[in-house]
Amino acid sequence: MQTRVAIQGQQASFHDIAARRFLGADVKIVNCETFEATFAALASGKADKIVVALENSLFGSINQTYDLLLKYKFWIAGELYLHIKQCLIGLPGTKLSDITEVYSQLPALAQCETFLDTKLPHAKRIEQHDTAASVAVVKAWNDPHKVAIASAEAAQLHGLKVLAQEIETYKHNYTRFVLIEKTKSVSKSANKTSMVITTDHKPGALYSALGVFAGSQMNLTKLQSRPIMGKAWHYLFYLDVDAAVETVEFKAVLKSLKKQGCQVTILGSYQAGRETQ
């Protein structure tokens, strides 16, 4: 049976590209307009898995994804770092001097700010919910004054032209995508764990908790604070650790954290991803 994967966005969006990198070109994509809708699709059984962006190398964490992981209590089963190459896309024959409006998702517009400031300073930037969807809209309008920012795959899908490629300001631009499943599964190749801890609200509590990892020679690759809803100025902490959850060493760390009064939630344990083109 074909695996159904929910993503935020349309065909040829970066989420779509990441999903096919994870699971193959023939995977069945369940397109959703929002991150919340992707999680709801998995919860309702409309999808078997989710592929969702977790953070970008330039703009940091996507907090909504972290919040949804806690809300739905799903499991991170893998990660992938996708090189994001943005293209300016329009009708064949469109010249830069013709352009008055640029459509794309807000992060994509921000990633291409220098290009837009220097090459299209008078063009209005208009936010869309998805990069690939902005290409579909430009095609439907059939107006040479309107262009989109999206992947080269989106231009090819909709039969439009790449007017300029790799227009992102910083070329080392990667988005970390994660594969999410409904139930816990830890592969033998797992070497990384994502987790959430909540410490006692007292001086030195976080310092003591982090000391547990240092004392066990475990490398933390991420530490992110998020406010606890309903508790003003109280925080929880998202951590990524270079260790698998099933190891003796990691279990000892969990035991030490709980002795300190920390509440611990494991979000997933999986094989660390590598940057891909």
Cα–Cα distance, 87 to 168 (Å, whole number): 8
Instruction: Give the model's pLDDT for residue 201.
Output: 80
Shared domain for 141 and 256, answered yes or no, is: no
Shared domain for 208 and 149, answered yes or no, is: no
Shared domain for 52 and 177, answered yes or no, is: yes
Report CA-CA distances (Å) from 40 to 13, 17, 50, 75, 182. Answer: 20, 21, 10, 14, 11
DSSP per-residue codes, the chain: -PPEEEEES-TTSHHHHHHHHHH-TTPEEEEESSHHHHHHHHHHTS-SEEEEEEEETTTEE-HHHHHHHHHHT-EEEEEEEEE---EEEE-TT--GGG--EEEE-HHHHHHTHHHHHHH-TTSEEEE-S-HHHHHHHHHHHT-TTEEEEE-HHHHHHHT-EEEEE---S-S--EEEEEEEESS----TT--EEEEEEE--SSTTHHHHHHHHHHHTTPPEEEEEEEEPTTSTT-EEEEEEESS-TTSHHHHHHHHHHHHTT-EEEEEEEEPPP-EE-
Instruction: Give domain status of residue 210, yes or no.
Output: yes
DSSP per-residue codes, 128-197: -S-HHHHHHHHHHHT-TTEEEEE-HHHHHHHT-EEEEE---S-S--EEEEEEEESS----TT--EEEEEE
Shared domain for 80 and 94, answered yes or no, is: no
Question: Identity (one letter) of the amino acid at 82?
Answer: L
Domain count, the chain: 3
Q: What residue numbers bound the domain in which 30 lies?
A: 4-84+173-181
Instruction: Give domain status of residue 186, yes or no.
Output: no
Structural contact between residues 128 and 105, judged by C-beta atoms closer than 8 angstroms: yes
Shared domain for 41 and 177, answered yes or no, is: yes
The tens-digit pLDDT sequence of the chain (277 residues) is: 799 999 999 999 999 999 999 999 999 999 999 999 999 999 999 999 999 999 999 888 999 999 999 999 999 999 999 999 999 999 999 999 999 999 999 999 999 999 999 999 999 999 999 999 999 999 999 999 999 999 999 999 999 999 999 999 999 999 999 999 999 999 999 999 999 999 988 888 999 999 999 999 999 999 999 988 778 878 899 999 999 999 999 999 999 999 999 999 999 999 999 877 6
- Catalytic pick from 14, 22, 74, 177? 177
Shared domain for 76 and 134, answered yes or no, is: no
We report the CATH number of the domain holding residue 55 as 3.40.190.10
We report the CATH number of the domain holding residue 213 as 3.30.70.260
- Catalytic pick from 65, 94, 175, 193? 175
Structural contact between residues 268 and 185, judged by C-beta atoms closer than 8 angstroms: no
Instruction: Give domain status of residue 187, yes or no.
Output: no
Instruction: Give domain status of residue 277, yes or no.
Output: no
Shared domain for 161 and 106, answered yes or no, is: yes
111 CB-side CA count, 13 A: 30
Instruction: Give the model's pLDDT for residue 35.
Output: 97
pTM: 0.93
Instruction: Give domain status of residue 22, yes or no.
Output: yes
Instruction: Give the model's pLDDT for residue 277.
Output: 66
Instruction: Give the model's pLDDT for residue 170.
Output: 94
Residue linked to tokens 């809803």: 229
- Among this protein's residues, is 175 annotated catalytic? yes
Q: Kind of pairing, strands 192-198 and 4-8? A: unpaired
